[in-house]
Structure 1
């Protein structure tokens, strides 16, 4: 059984870098805001915007935490990407095989976002420095984000070694 490491040499992958992933994240965040904010305003009114409360009620938790979790993981399961990553034509793949990750990997990846943000976002910034462009959430889930339409040539692989 292979351990988590670079994919086998016969799987040429182009890893999606830091700035494209930031752009995808911004797109996804805007989509979530466009969906959730009107619902929250409908339920709680403008008091929701003006409040300093961390917890506003059950609907707040369902709309801000449960819905995004289910929606994001559902996109990952069915498309291997969120809408933002789809704009980039990027996909999440298993770091070992290059295949579609398992549901368990997606859940670990999602929970890994929270761990990645705790130390001042260092786990997310890690994408900028990592040779495979993995954040801590990717490392925990053993996933990578790739541009499957852009194959890396053998010359590119030799040059980057």
Structure 2
């Protein structure tokens, strides 16, 4: 793998990837939560942060474990795969370690706390790293020329 083959993935493609991931997680978790807690789970006036053990497992543990496993085994979540991006170690370009994956996941909390500033940071950072990337020592990359053939206009 040569450095000049890749580019850092910026803010908007990563937002798109996140939207894809959230939709997939919701397709899995919402029916389970409705089956266990009923529709009132989503419409109650005073919904607790965690409604019970099943809620904790479905809403908090499952997404964390799934995301970390995707990073470890595929270098990307389904959303990142859809945009041909990979999450790699910032120093070597290799797959993440278990520690990096866990640190990156929980680094999202730190990145989101001050009005999502650590996420928005991706838009302005030269290596397109959010605070979660910086904390875990990761970057999100993809091939520069992803199409089957280069675009040519004219004759």
Per the shorter chain, which TM-score range?
0.7 to 0.9
Distance 2:144 2:99 in 1: 27
Q: How many residues align?
A: 141
Give the corresponding residue for 1:94. Answer: 89
Give the corresponding residue for 1:11. Answer: 3
Give the corresponding residue for 2:41. Answer: 48
- Structure 1 moving runs of 4+ over 2 Å: 10-13
Runs of 5+ consecutive residues of structure 2 not aligned to the other structure:
146-155
Distance 1:19 1:11 in 2: 22
Give the corresponding residue for 1:67. Answer: 62
Q: Which deviates more, 136-145 or 92-101?
A: 92-101
Q: TM-score, normalised by structure 2?
A: 0.88
Q: Cα distance, 1:150 vs. partner?
A: 2.1
Q: Cα distance, 1:121 vs. partner?
A: 0.4
Deviations along 1:55-112, one digit per CA (max 9) or x if unpaired, are 2111111000000001000111110000000000100111111111211111100010
Determine helix, strand or coil for the equivalent of 2:111: helix
Q: Cα distance, 1:47 vs. partner?
A: 1.3
Runs of 5+ consecutive residues of structure 1 not aligned to the other structure:
1-9, 152-161
1:107-146 equivalences under 5 Å are 107-146=102-141
Determine helix, strand or coil for the equivalent of 1:14: strand
Q: Cα distance, 1:11 vs. partner?
A: 2.2
